[in-house]
């Protein structure tokens, strides 16, 4: 046995000497406590310590790459993560052959991929949100010269731990043509693409009227010039069964997505505009996952197109995209969303009125989102078993704006006072339709002011102070908050943070959500620890959100790579 172990170890070390081994470790742990204001939910009382842990190993030798990710959620996953994430198991594994010279790239196992903007297909991981929607199957990517790239893939989607897979099978193809190469253009890029994605889930035995196959397909085009860029994508979703709490077998509807992006950049001035219209455009690897709280089984990527704000009070009322259709919940008929966002950036040169002696910058952004304007009609039909069913139908106007969901408008001013002192000031106005977005009976108007200053005591030593205030006319009223951070060197940092809901009419809700802690960073290793209270609400990363409950306790985070 000893000789076998020595031989195996020798083979591993020999293979590593000819290739490259990369290892990444991440651990996120919390110990929850009850304090005088926040109590842990009774059903979560069984485990006070919870931890999400990941180890990712990748090995590359010549044109081959192999990898796996081990995951441990022990003794349980952090609060409000998918309960299917439990114990220790292999999260993902893959083998890949990539020969760039020959234009061939083949992967088997768990696959991460995106077609176009991701509206049709995106398989991805975000550990902060508890999302790992990798496809378990095979993918082939082939490049025809320098101008044409084709991708095909097929498999089933991860919906729990690594080999917990969806009932539905997914297959797709994507083609992208770089027309600027054909046109021999040197000052711009001009690309055309086309996408097809299919999901086949056999539910016809239970629901004979429901097609097993759902298709999403459409073209896209992109132009990138020296100063101006524009892109457009259209996708059509074939008829699929309506899901609202349960599968509604008598309702079949198609869907669509339109997305346009335009931008201009001259150096001192830049502007960008995003427009999107979604109608019945949720797409999951199995139908009964639609509407789940953990974003499990999402095939497509539909982020909220709003600015991702830096300060905590700016993120109390966050918008989450509304591609879904809702028929039956009274007063909440929804069929999708329509709207957009804009960003404008000005670089103010020195010796100007707003630029002062050292120059400054102003960023202006805003967004507006509404439901599709729809018209409700009703008719009676016979169900599968001869029963009378009242069928509700929704008709929409293409450019029609219905009930307002969300609006924001923000201004940010950045000013470097001197080589040692810099400031940021911002104002944000928000409208938030809680009744339609989170089922609370409020229409919220909020205004938030923030001010931040950073003073550099030396090259790596700094002090930062941040102050915030929010005026809100409903729900929990006004908030105030602040953060102080001290960085003594490039290795250590310390902070204290608090937001206080002083404007609520409920004495039990007048809470300080405080936290304090620090971080140690050395090379590729970072360790952070903190203690405090967590405000309940939506937490968003890249425009995709998950709900986090109110909690109090200790947090420890570790990341390292070698």
* Residue among 213, 216, 218, 207 nearest 246 (CA): 207
Tens of pLDDT, residue by residue over 207-221, are: 888 999 999 999 999
Query: How do the domains of the chain map onto residue ranges?
Result: 303-370+406-561
* Residue among 547, 532, 510 nearest 32 (CA): 532
Tens of pLDDT, residue by residue over 453-464, are: 999 998 899 999
Query: What φ, ψ does residue 344 adopt, rounded to 5°?
Result: -130, 135
Of residues 474 and 313, more confidence is placed in 313
Q: Sort 411 into a burial class: Cβ within 10 Å, 0-12 / 13-18 / 19+.
A: middle
Tens of pLDDT, residue by residue over 381-397, are: 666 566 676 666 677 88
User: CA 111, 112, 115, 119 torsion: positive or negative?
Assistant: positive
Of residues 400 and 54, more confidence is placed in 54
Tens of pLDDT, residue by residue over 500-537, are: 999 988 888 899 999 999 999 999 999 999 999 999 88
pTM over 0.85? The answer is yes
Residue 135: predicted pLDDT: 97
User: Would you place residue 328 in the very low, low, confident or very high pLDDT band (cuts 50, 70, 90)?
Assistant: low
The whole-chain average pLDDT of the chain stands at 90
C-alpha dihedral over 349, 355, 359, 365, to 10 degrees?
Answer: -90
pLDDT, average across residues 29-41: 86
Residue 14: predicted pLDDT: 52
Mind spelling out the 3-state secondary structure of 367-427? EEEEEEEEEEEEEEEECCCCCEEEEEEEEEEEEEEEEEEEEEEEEEEEEECCCCEEEEEEE
């Amino acid at each position: 046995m000893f000789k076998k172990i020595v031989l195996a170890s020798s083979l591993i070390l020999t293979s590593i000497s000819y290739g490259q081994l990369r290892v990444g470790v991440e651990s996120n742990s919390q110990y929850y406590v009850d304090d005088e204001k926040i109590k842990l939910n009774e059903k979560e009382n069984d485990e006070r310590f919870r931890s999400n842990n990941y180890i990712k190993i990748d090995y590359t030798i010549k044109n081959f790459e192999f990898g796996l990710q081990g995951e441990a959620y022990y003794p349980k996953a952090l609060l409000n993560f998918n309960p299917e994430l439990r114990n220790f198991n292999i999260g993902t594994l893959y083998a890949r052959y990539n020969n760039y010279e020959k234009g061939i790239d083949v992967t088997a196992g768990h696959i991460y991929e995106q077609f176009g903007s991701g509206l049709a297909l995106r398989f991805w991981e975000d550990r902060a949100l508890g999302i790992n929607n990798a496809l378990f199957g095979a993918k082939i990517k082939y490049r025809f010269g320098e101008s044409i790239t084709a991708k095909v893939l097929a498999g089933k989607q991860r919906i729990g731990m690594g080999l917990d897979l969806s009932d539905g099978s997914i297959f797709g193809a994507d083609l992208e043509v770089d027309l600027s190469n054909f046109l021999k253009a040197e000052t711009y890029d001009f690309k055309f693409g086309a996408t097809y994605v299919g999901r086949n889930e056999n539910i016809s035995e239970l629901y004979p009227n429901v097609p097993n196959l759902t298709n999403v397909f459409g073209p896209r085009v992109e132009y990138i010039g020296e100063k101006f860029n524009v892109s457009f994508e259209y996708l059509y979703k074939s008829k699929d069964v309506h899901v609202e709490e349960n599968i509604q077998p008598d309702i079949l509807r198609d869907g669509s997505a339109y997305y346009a992006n335009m931008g201009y950049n001259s150096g001192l001035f830049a502007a960008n505009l995003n427009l999107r219209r979604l109608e019945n455009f949720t797409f999951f690897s199995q139908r009964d996952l639609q509407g789940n709280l953990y974003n499990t089984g999402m095939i497509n990527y539909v982020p909220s197109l709003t600015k991702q704000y830096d300060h905590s009070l700016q993120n109390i009322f966050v918008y989450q995209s509304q591609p879904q259709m809702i028929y039956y919940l009274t007063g909440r008929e929804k069929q999708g969303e329509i709207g957009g966002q804009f960003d404008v950036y000005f670089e103010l040169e020195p010796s100007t009125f707003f630029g002062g002696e050292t120059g400054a910058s102003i960023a202006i952004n805003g967004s507006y989102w509404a439901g599709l304007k729809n018209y409700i009609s009703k008719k009676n039909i016979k169900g599968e078993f001869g029963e009378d069913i009242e069928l509700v139908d929704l008709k929409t106007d293409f450019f029609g704006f219905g009930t307002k969901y969300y609006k924001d408008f923000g201004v940010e001013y950045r000013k470097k006072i001197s080589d040692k002192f810099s400031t940021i000031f911002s104002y944000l106005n928000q409208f938030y339709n809680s009744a339609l977005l989170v089922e609370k009976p409020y229409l919220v108007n909020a205004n938030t002011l923030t001010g931040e200053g950073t003073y550099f005591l030396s090259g790596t030593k700094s002090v930062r102070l941040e102050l915030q205030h929010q005026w809100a006319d409903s729900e929990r009223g006004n908030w105030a908050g602040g953060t102080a951070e001290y960085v003594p060197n490039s290795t250590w940092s310390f902070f204290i943070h608090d937001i206080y809901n002083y404007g609520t009419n409920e004495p039990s809700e007048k809470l300080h959500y405080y936290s304090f802690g620090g971080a140690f960073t050395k090379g590729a290793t970072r360790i952070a620890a903190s203690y405090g209270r967590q405000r309940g609400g939506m937490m968003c990363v890249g425009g995709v959100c998950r709900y986090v409950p109110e909690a109090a306790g200790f947090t420890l985070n570790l990341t390292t790579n070698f």
